[in-house]
Chain A
Amino acid sequence: MSLKFAPFLPELLRSLFKKPVTVVYPFQKEAVAAGFRGTVVFDPAKCIGCNICVNDCPAEAIDIIRVSETEKKFKMILHNDRCIHCAQCVDSCPTKTYHMDLEYEVAAFSRHNLKIEYK
């Protein structure tokens, strides 16, 4: 049994006098990386109602509802509690209706507050 006694001791004593690496989070926020997939954003003007996103979504998080009988107008309900942020909808939409923003501080006290409606 070859036990080296306390191999981290110099490192510990060094970090005792260093500035800690901790990000003091709610007061000092780190920039989010560029490709980060945050919340889904929907642009109702571009939607053609093909329902590809509804079929492709693995988490059943998207509902597309036709608003008026005569015009091609749609609203989208995003169930953010089910969304797994995979960006499949961004990839499959033929008219580039979707994009992802960098928002991640979306904690809520009720699941109904997590539902987002775009119209």
Chain B
Amino acid sequence: MIERLVHWSRVKSPWVLHLNAGGGCNGCDIEILAALMPRFDLERFGVQLKGTPRHADVMICTGAVTLQNRDRVLRVYEQVPDPKFVVAAGACAMAGCVYRGSYHTLIGIDQLLPVNAYVPGCPFRPAALIDAVVKLLNSVK
């Protein structure tokens, strides 16, 4: 009973931390903002954008992870309290995109963190992000 209640509340109120992992063109960040704006309105699902990792449940990562930023990304991830989910949004966060083979980026954020969902696109549509969030929430056990 209590477990079902807790599961219900977890699915219904995912708070989001938006993390730019360093590299990238900021296109994906703008699409995330577009998903929060009145046209798509992520707050329908109870999503709130939070400034601090301590309040967040879902970490949306954009941009390629630069070597300078690698330790910071790990630190922010460790500051998020359990249970936590990571969404790699955009081609840079997923696989490095056009920065592949560059001397200062990792090929994908999943070299560093366990990633729960991938959103393809360069940049993705806001609807694609909502699609990923809904798929992720439906798959949470």
Interface residues of A (CB under 8 A from B): 20-26, 29-30, 58-60, 79-86, 104-111, 114
Known: A21-B39, A22-B40, A24-B44. A114 touches B118 (CB 8 A): yes
Are the C-beta atoms of A83 and B39 separated by less than 8 Å?
no
Q: Which of B95, B116, B117, B132 contacts A81 (CB 8 A)?
A: B95
Known: A21-B38, A23-B39, A24-B44. A83 touches B131 (CB 8 A): no
Interface segment among B4-12, B68-76, B96-104: the answer is B96-104
A74 shortest CB reach to chain B, Å: 23
Known: A21-B38, A111-B94. A81 touches B121 (CB 8 A): no
Residues in B whose Cβ lies below 8 Å from that of A80:
120
Known: A104-B125, A107-B131, A109-B136. 13 other contacts (CB 8 A): A23-B40, A25-B40, A25-B127, A26-B130, A81-B118, A82-B96, A82-B97, A84-B91, A104-B128, A105-B127, A107-B128, A111-B118, A114-B94
Interface size bucket, B side?
20 to 34
Residues in A whose Cβ lies below 8 Å from that of B44:
22, 24
The residue on A at minimum CB distance from B94 is A81
B59 shortest CB reach to chain A, Å: 16
Q: Which of B90-141 contact A (CB under 8 A)?
A: 91, 94-98, 100-101, 108, 110, 116-122, 124-125, 127-128, 130-132, 134-136, 139
**Cα distance, A84 to B131, chains bound together (Å):** 19
**Cα distance, A84 to B96, chains bound together (Å):** 10
Are the C-beta atoms of A25 and B130 separated by less than 8 Å?
yes
Known: A22-B39, A22-B41, A23-B39. A84 touches B127 (CB 8 A): no
**Cα distance, A83 to B110, chains bound together (Å):** 17
Are the C-beta atoms of A105 and B110 separated by less than 8 Å?
no
Residues in B whose Cβ lies below 8 Å from that of A106:
120, 128
| Cβ-closest 3 pairs across A and B | A107-B132, A84-B122, A81-B94
**Cα distance, A42 to B101, chains bound together (Å):** 26
> What are 6 A-to-B residue pairs whose CB atoms are below 8 Å?
A82-B91, A82-B95, A82-B97, A106-B120, A107-B120, A114-B120
The residue on B at minimum CB distance from A108 is B118
B37 shortest CB reach to chain A, Å: 10
**Cα distance, A79 to B94, chains bound together (Å):** 11
